[in-house]
C-alpha cells in the first residue's frame, strides 16, 4: 500500500506542478475582474472541461497522434521543455503588473488551453504513462483536476486569505519548479 501511495505521489506531484492550481486561481481572479460571480463559475467549468478533455485526449491517444505525425515522445519532451522553460522564465521575470484583459469568455482559451492543458501537462502525461502506467497517471490527473475545480471555486477566499502578494509569490515558486521540470524534460529528451 505504501508503495502504491509513493508511486501515486510520483505521478501526482509533476502534474500538480505542471497544472499549478494556485497559480491558475490567481490568473482566474485577474482575468475575471469585473465578471459576475455566476458567469465566472460558468467560465471555471468551461476551463476545467476543456483542459480535462484535452488532457484525456493526449493521455489516451497521445502516442498514436505522435506516431501519425512522425514525432517521438522525446521530440515532444525537448520541444515542450523549451516552451515550458520560456513560459516559466517569462513568468519569473515578469513584473507584478495588471494582467492582460480578455473577453468575458476566457474559459476555453487561455484557461482551458494552454494554461491547464499546455505543453507541460501533455508532455508530463505522456512521460508518466510510460513510467507509471495509465491507471495511476489517470488517477493523478483526476485528483489534480479536482484541485483545479476547488481552486477556481474558492479563488475569492484564497485571495483574501493569502492576498495578492502571497498568490504571486506562490506562483513564482511554482514557476521556478516548472523551469526545473522543463530542464529535466529537455535533458531526458536528449538522452532519449
**pLDDT score at 96:** 56
Whole-number pLDDT of residue 46: 95
Question: Is the dihedral angle over the CA atoms 43, 158, 9, 120 positive or is it negative?
Answer: positive
Q: Considering only CA atoms, give the Rg of the chain.
A: 16
Contact (CB, 8 A) for 24 and 148 = yes
Q: What is the pLDDT of residues 86-135, one digit of tens each?
A: 877 877 787 655 444 455 568 888 888 888 998 778 888 988 998 999 99
pLDDT (tens digit, 9 = 90+) per residue, 51-99?
A: 999 999 999 998 899 889 998 877 877 887 787 788 778 777 876 554 4
- 8: cell is 501515486
pLDDT value for 107: 87
Closest CA to 108 of 149, 166, 48: 48
Residue 163 scores a pLDDT above 80 = no
Q: Is 53 exposed, middle or buried (0-12, 13-18, 19+ CB in 10 A)?
A: middle
Q: What confidence tens digit (pLDDT) does each residue in 9-45 have?
A: 999 999 999 898 988 887 788 777 778 888 989 999 9
Distance of CA 153 to the CA centre of its chain: 17
Q: Which residue in 72, 57, 45, 75 sits closest to 150, CA to CA?
A: 45
Looking at residue 97, what is its pLDDT?
54
H-type alpha helices, the chain:
2-19, 21-31, 37-69, 73-93, 119-132, 134-153, 155-191
More confident residue, 184 or 4: 4
Asked whether residue 191 carries a pLDDT value surpassing 80, the answer given is yes
Amino acid at each position: 500500500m505504501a508503495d502504491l501511495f509513493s508511486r501515486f505521489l510520483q505521478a501526482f506531484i509533476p502534474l500538480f506542478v505542471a497544472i499549478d492550481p494556485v497559480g491558475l486561481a490567481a490568473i482566474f481572479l485577474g482575468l475575471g475582474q469585473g465578471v459576475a460571480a455566476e458567469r465566472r463559475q460558468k467560465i471555471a467549468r468551461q476551463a476545467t472541461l476543456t483542459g480535462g478533455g484535452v488532457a484525456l485526449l493526449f493521455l489516451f491517444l497521445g502516442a498514436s497522434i505522435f506516431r501519425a505525425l512522425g514525432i517521438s515522445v522525446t521530440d515532444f519532451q525537448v520541444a515542450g521543455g523549451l516552451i515550458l522553460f520560456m513560459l516559466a522564465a517569462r513568468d519569473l521575470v515578469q513584473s507584478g503588473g495588471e494582467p492582460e484583459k480578455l473577453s468575458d469568455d476566457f474559459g476555453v482559451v487561455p484557461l482551458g488551453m494552454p494554461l491547464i492543458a499546455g505543453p507541460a501537462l501533455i508532455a508530463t502525461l505522456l512521460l508518466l504513462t510510460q513510467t507509471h502506467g495509465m491507471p495511476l497517471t489517470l488517477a493523478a490527473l483526476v485528483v489534480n483536476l479536482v484541485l483545479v475545480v476547488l481552486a477556481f471555486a474558492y479563488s475569492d477566499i484564497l485571495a483574501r486569505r493569502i492576498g495578492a502578494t502571497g498568490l504571486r509569490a506562490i506562483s513564482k515558486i511554482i514557476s521556478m519548479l516548472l523551469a526545473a521540470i522543463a530542464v529535466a524534460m529537455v535533458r531526458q529528451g536528449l538522452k532519449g
